[in-house]
Structure 1
Amino acid sequence: MGSRRWAVLRDPLEEEGKAEARPATEAGAGPDQRLKFLLWFVVGAGCLTFLSAFVQHPDLFSHVPATWKLALAATGFAFGDIAVLHIRFGHDKYSFTWSESAVIVGLVVLPSPWLRIVAPLAIGTAHLLARRPRVKVVFNATSAATGCLLAGVVFGVITRDTGRDHVALGSPHTWIALAVAAFAFFVWNSVTVWMAVAFSQGRRFVPMLRKGLPLNSLVWVGNTTMGVALVAIAGTSTNNAVLLVVPIFIAFLYLTYRGYLRAMEERDLWQVLQATSRELARVDQSGIAAVVMERAETLFKAEFVELMLVDGEPGTAATIFRHAPGQAVERLEGEPERDAGTFWPRVLCEREPFQIVAPRAPAAQREELESLGLAMCIVAPLIAQETCLGVLRVGFRGHVRLADRELQVLSTFANQVSTSLHNARLFEETNEERAKLSGVFNHSSDGILSVDAAGEVTSWNPAMSRITGTSAADALGAPLFSGLSATTEKGEPVTPEWLRRELRTSSQIEAAVAIQTARAGRRWLQLSASGVRQPGRDDVYDSVVIVARDVTAIRELEETKQDFVATVSHELRTPLTPLKGFLGTLMRPDFNPSPTDLADMHAAMLRQVKRLERIIEDVLNTAQVERGEFRIDAVPVDLGEVVDRLAQECNRPVEYDPPTWPAVALADPGRVEQVLANLLSNAEKYTPPESLVTLVVEHAGAEVVVKVVDQGPGIEEEDQPLVFERFRRLGNHLTRQPGGTGLGLYVSRRLVEAMGGRIWLESEIGEGCTFAFALPGVVVAGHGSPNTSLRVAHPPAAAARHATRVLNLEETSRA
């Protein structure tokens, strides 16, 4: 038997007819050209060999061999060159033939010229009948002609008889000559076929020849032995022939059966590896251990399997899985240096599989193996992306000699585990990052949306729904800001076309956009848009990511500040103008006022100075309140006396009925006067000149309440929560009616709250306003006589927090 081919999936010679149609990236320009040259060389040499038989022997047909000899040789070549046995090894396939046996028989029964004629004709006819590709028919036929020429020359040189029709069949010398001639045919046949295979697949010739040479040589020995035996049989008795042929045939069957079993084992092994790869691809990191335990036991007949997964190189924590046949998988948490100290340093150093045999191992390794009941183990590092993810140990209770193929399978298995583990970790990390991004997307206070190349919304986070009042279900798939009437500060509509136009000049744009919402009305958004370019295209965007921040409150505050600046400027000029006029009048040389007029001028100037002082105090108090720097000295204060004093200083008629009981509260006297002065000033501004301002002091449970009632126009209900905010004035800052900075009520609210009280407003349109504040009251026994005891009626915690000194109101004064 002779090996005629070693193919991967298909015979390369069957593909030669398609070689020109292959792209250079598949087969390569070099291999195709070399294959064509080889084919032309073999075909040319074969044709010359075939024709040389007629040229060298013009009287060839005058010496025609016997018909039975021609038929015998032709039959041997025809059936001997057609593959009679196919065995697959993994992804490769052997096809065995009887070529060398046919050559030996042909050398015996035919002269060399006729051998060169019969061999190519018989082989070509056989391949045609088998419907082989034409290129293969020509290649095999011409190659056989040249091989027969080489075999005939070698046989003739050794026997010194190239022209005889027969030889001494029983001579050992003849047998040796036939064996050497068959070897020459084998060398020629192997070299040409293997070169064709290597060139067709773009591989190197020598490694491929070395790969198949051992088995091919064994087949050549079998074929040569068979052929020589047949020749020897022809010169001996039938009994000897049977005795000779039977052992050879049995040996051949044994070798064939062993090859078949090995092929089946190889096939099953690769099937298990492929199934393992598929299973590992479908499980997460926690499920990899179960697959590894089961498959390692199946593949290597292991009696102990250990998988250690580390958290990263060099690894400070490890999860260890151990399994033995018939036992449950054991899971341990540990550290590589502590739990795998006998082999972990070597794993990090070598990064290649290695064996540990107990009798030859160092003491620490031997003791560990003995504690596990093992005689040896194989350690395979799990390496991915140059990082050691862990280690796989396969152990045996007895000494097992593993072939190189089995070690290669273990390495392949470890690589599969490493790749799957690496992919599982990447997948988990990706999911974690995706969850983080999803959390940012869903919980961001800023609106986030994305738009595709067509301008349709592809993502819309909850903040966008809250800001715009448009749900994600309504926004997704719709054009950008559909139904929101979005415009820029310049009045340009914000549409997908506007977005594409702006992105032509910059990959990131900033713009202030106004939208009209159904619930909140007009809102201002600060947009930051970034384009995501198509790969390799700087001018085309796959999508645009937009971050929208609601700046409505900021813009309103800026507008309010601008109004405040205008108001304060006016309020400062209002007292300064008369002051300037009075001072200019006083400096005139011809001005000689009477004492009464001079006193009136001084009084008017003093009023303007106080007004100016109050404006400055409001501004300073606001700054102190914002910084939390104001001071509260909480002491018992008679609010009735404070109200009475400020009522007398008011510039308009005030109606006030002093209480008949001590209205004592725990507060800061100066701050109470400041609050009441602000409320009276506010009442003066909004009350008609002929109307009264009413002051009321009353008890309300544990609190003392002070009310300032005016007869102004009143305040709309929706505006009432705004009056105690800073910079808020409900008048028109352009007409300056009424005047004021808009800070007095804000400062009053903060001061009252700091003293543990509360402030509020009651108003109806056309019926004036009632501003009231309540402070924690103090119960006075004996109407506040010097020796009476004072106690706080349920003093609130806020007052105690803001007090700068501790009041012991229960102690009796000692006069």
Structure 2
Amino acid sequence: MVDLLGETNAAPPALPSPAVRAEDLGIGILFEVIRDAAIVGDATTGHIVLWNPAAERLFGYRADEAIGQSLEILVPGALRERHRTGLAAFARTGRGPLVDGDEPAVLPTSHRDGGEMTVELSLTPLSVPERPSLAAHRYVLALIRDATARERLAAEREVVYAAAQAAADRLGKLVDLKAGFTAMAAHELGTPVATIRGLVDILAAGDLAEPEQAALLAAIRSETDLVHRLVADVEAAAAVERDDFGLQPHPVPVALMLAELAAFAQTLPGDHPIRESVDESVMMTRVFADPQRIGQVLRNLLGNASKHTPPGTTIELRVREDGARVRIDVADEGQGIPAGDLERIFTKFGRGRDAEGRRTPGVGLGLYLSRRIIEAHGSELTVTTRPGEGTTFGFHLEIAA
């Protein structure tokens, strides 16, 4: 018989175990057909005396290779002293923590290829038969089941469960968002649509003079523009979600952007004076940008400033060169933004509060889209706020060559 442990790890010398059959120990044919790895050890000598086919598959040793070897071929080096102590105690008393335990022990064990695996181990003392040659020996039946696959399956199950839970949480949030968005969009779109219908009904009656008709038509156009902006924001948000938010940047004169913004500023509610602080040199500068998208950002920032500040307060538009870039800031004189709201206002459907603390109208996509647009231009939409003094939003655009 070849010593599979080698000299450095050899077990203490022991008397050889007598040849034993399963029938001799009262376990008969069941030993061969049981699905678990089954090994019978002689605790008196520390040797393997029986080895079933399932043990061959689990440990990689054929029965003729394993029988007669020390039980320590299955014990990792770090556990061998503990194994010897426990085996000696069992040989003397027939008792031991692994034998007396109600549940299988989970332990590392050694494979023929030198690797380790985790197994579930159950030990059962075997009755000594009435054979003089065996009476001096104490035998134990070890039933062993590979727990490595079970542990891996449990770990995979935990990962899958965590992923499923995260997906369920996200789905729940999306459902809540969808429900909230549907109600919000219905309200925000319903108000101007109802206004438009009422104005159209008045026009259809035909009882108004031309100046009054012109005023009603202007009001209808304003409400229609509002609906258009709401729908455009929703479409843009959908494009962001699809990663289909394409830009068309090209050199754009700063003066042209400011002229278009000045025209928009005239339509803002709240009678807010607009103060422009613009470096003269900037008016001759071109920036590399998508003018439609940057115009959308600037209109949103001016619109927010007008909605979130008391009527009559000044909104300042600052434009200056900053190295190879142009810096644009929109500052208001409102109450500032609470620290807890600074990130929320940039989330989808996140809405701020007006000067009276009420939720502002809109679907809450303006700053969400503005941040995405500015990031797509390689910049960052920053915000600084001072309680009771106001808030400033700003960003940079690269100067076109």
Q: Does 2:297 match 1:675?
A: yes
> Residue 566 of structure 1 aligns with which residue?
183
Amino acid at match of 1:432: T
Cα distance change on mapping 1:275 and 1:552 into 2, 3 Å: closer
Cα distance change on mapping 1:556 and 1:770 into 2, 3 Å: farther
- 2:275 partner SS: strand
Of the three residues 156, 161, 165, the one matched with 1:440 is: 156
Q: Does 2:395 match 1:773?
A: yes
Residues 2-29 of structure 1: CA deviation (Å, up to 9, x unaligned): xxxxxxxxxxxxxxxxxxxxxxxxxxxx
Within-5 A mapping of 1:265-344: 277-278=48-49, 288=61, 292=65, 295=68
Within-5 A mapping of 1:625-664: 625-650=240-265, 651-652=267-268, 653-662=273-282, 663-664=285-286
> Residue 259 of structure 1 aligns with which residue?
none
Asked whether the equivalents of residues 635 and 668 of structure 1 are also in contact (C-alpha less than 8 Å), the reply is yes
> Residue 577 of structure 1 aligns with which residue?
194
CA distance in 1 between partners of 2:350 and 2:287 (Å): 29
CA distance in 2 between partners of 1:554 and 1:731 (Å): 28
CA distance in 2 between partners of 1:445 and 1:656 (Å): 56
Q: Does 2:321 match 1:699?
A: yes
Deviation at 1:615, TM superposition (A): 1.0
> Residue 252 of structure 1 aligns with which residue?
none
- 2:343 partner SS: helix
CA distance in 2 between partners of 1:679 and 1:623 (Å): 21
Cα distance change on mapping 1:275 and 1:655 into 2, 3 Å: closer
Residues 230-255 of structure 1: CA deviation (Å, up to 9, x unaligned): xxxxxxxxxxxxxxxxxxxxxxxxxx
> Residue 754 of structure 1 aligns with which residue?
376
CA distance in 2 between partners of 1:434 and 1:601 (Å): 75
Asked whether the equivalents of residues 351 and 359 of structure 2 are also in contact (C-alpha less than 8 Å), the reply is no
Cα distance change on mapping 1:717 and 1:700 into 2, 3 Å: farther
Of the three residues 331, 336, 346, the one matched with 1:714 is: 336
Amino-acid identity (%)? 29
What is the TM-score normalised by the length of structure 1?
0.31
Higher helix fraction: Structure 1 or Structure 2?
Answer: 1
Asked whether the equivalents of residues 722 and 728 of structure 1 are also in contact (C-alpha less than 8 Å), the reply is yes
Deviation at 1:709, TM superposition (A): 1.3
CA distance in 2 between partners of 1:634 and 1:659 (Å): 23
- 2:346 partner SS: coil
- 1:587 partner SS: helix
Cα distance change on mapping 1:627 and 1:280 into 2, 3 Å: same
Of the three residues 365, 378, 391, the one matched with 1:743 is: 365
Residues 317-361 of structure 1: CA deviation (Å, up to 9, x unaligned): xxxxxxxxxxxxxx99xxxxxxxxxxxxxxxxxxxxxxxxxxxxx
Cα distance change on mapping 1:707 and 1:439 into 2, 3 Å: same
Query: How many matched pairs?
Result: 283
Between Structure 1 and Structure 2, whose CA radius of gyration is higher? 1
* Aligned alpha-carbon RMSD (Å): 4.0
Asked whether the equivalents of residues 644 and 656 of structure 1 are also in contact (C-alpha less than 8 Å), the reply is no
Q: Does 2:348 match 1:726?
A: yes
Asked whether the equivalents of residues 687 and 693 of structure 1 are also in contact (C-alpha less than 8 Å), the reply is no
Cα distance change on mapping 1:724 and 1:549 into 2, 3 Å: closer
Asked whether the equivalents of residues 332 and 392 of structure 2 are also in contact (C-alpha less than 8 Å), the reply is yes
Amino acid at match of 2:336: G
Deviation at 1:433, TM superposition (A): 0.8
Amino acid at match of 2:280: T
Greater relative CO (CA pairs within 8 A, separation 6+) = 2
Listed as ranges, the gaps of 5+ residues in structure 2 are 1-18, 21-41, 70-111, 114-140
Asked whether the equivalents of residues 280 and 288 of structure 1 are also in contact (C-alpha less than 8 Å), the reply is no
Asked whether the equivalents of residues 192 and 226 of structure 2 are also in contact (C-alpha less than 8 Å), the reply is yes
What is the TM-score normalised by the length of structure 2?
0.60
Cα distance change on mapping 1:640 and 1:446 into 2, 3 Å: same
CA distance in 2 between partners of 1:557 and 1:712 (Å): 33
- 1:714 partner SS: coil
Cα distance change on mapping 1:551 and 1:709 into 2, 3 Å: farther
